[in-house]
Amino acid sequence: MSRKKVIGILSMAYGTPTAVEEVLPYYTHIRRGRPPEPQQLHDLIARYDAIGGLSPLNEITGRQVVGLEQMLTELEPNAEYRVYIGMKHWHPYIEETVKQMHDDGITEAIGVVWAPHYSAMSVGSYIEYAEKAREKWGGPAKISYVKDWHLQPLFLASTARRVQAALDEIPAELREQTPVVFTAHSLPARITQMGDPYPQQIEESARAVAESIGHANWFTGWQSAGRTPEPWLGPDILDVIREQAAQGVKSLVICPFGFVSDHLEVLYDVDIEAKQLADELGIQLVRAASPNDEEEFLRAVATAVLEQADKD
């Protein structure tokens, strides 16, 4: 009996600290080795405290990895897929994971980031980390990459179902005029001069989801802009809420579909900060649920991985 072909899957995520004492080195890594100011560190820890102490991101990513491996085995039983996780800003770092894959004898791999939309400054940076590690350790011999999956039909269907469920929480007489705001992580506005596809991909998947549920009242917004002097993509979600309140809007759905799991940017930025502002302004705000390790969502990612495998 012939042995199944073994393909490594390098799944990459942002990463998050697992204990309070790890917040400082984590934040320092995000800042490229520059420690945060004491007030910045205090503010970040306070946000973690507000959502229960620490982010559930690592735990959810772990479940996503297990689910992705199971889904790949189900969809393609003739190959053996080994799914690894590499983090951009915490252990196991992408470099550590690529070394582990090489040590495990993985020669052929596919890389995928737990983010559906491509930007050179986001997904592109993960790929750059992985390629530098591959060259450093001398393997795996080949890693091909899923650069984006923002129009993957199952991803769109999963998102549409969760948006519709959020809309269903709005009183029926307000539903049609309730705006749905699709949000993603902001990036420096200069990407638009670089021809980066990120803003366009956000718009494309938002339009596809809205059209699939027949909801014409939608637009895009941005979250989590960096605290730097240069301009970032906008409008920020808090500004959106203020603008909608000024126009007399009484209900709003936010779908943070640029993020694929519950973590700080969702649980604090939307569920606490945005919700608090909406309450103050008399707006009913409902957030569409995160996909986390939902089966249809994992099938979408697995399908995108297999489509990449077919190209190789």
From CA 185, how far away is CA 57, in angstroms rounded? 16
Which among 5, 10, 140 is positioned nearest to 83, based on CA atoms?
A: 10
Q: Residue positions in the annotated binding site for Fe(2+)?
A: 185, 265
Within 13 A of 238's CA, how many CA atoms are on the CB side?
13
Q: Phi first, then psi: what are they for 221, rounded to 5°? A: -145, 180
Write 222-228 long-range contacts (CB < 8 A, 24+).
Answer: 222/183, 222/184, 222/185, 222/186, 223/183, 223/184, 223/185, 223/186, 223/256, 223/258, 223/265, 223/269, 223/270, 224/185, 224/186, 224/265, 224/269, 225/186, 226/186, 226/188, 228/188
182 φ/ψ sector (left φ>0, alpha ψ -120 to 50, else beta): beta
Enter the DSSP assignment of 269.
I
Within 13 A of 180's CA, how many CA atoms are on the CB side?
31
Q: Residue positions in the annotated binding site?
A: 14, 31, 47-48, 55, 126, 185, 265
Q: Residue positions in the annotated binding site for Fe-coproporphyrin III?
A: 14, 31, 47-48, 55, 126
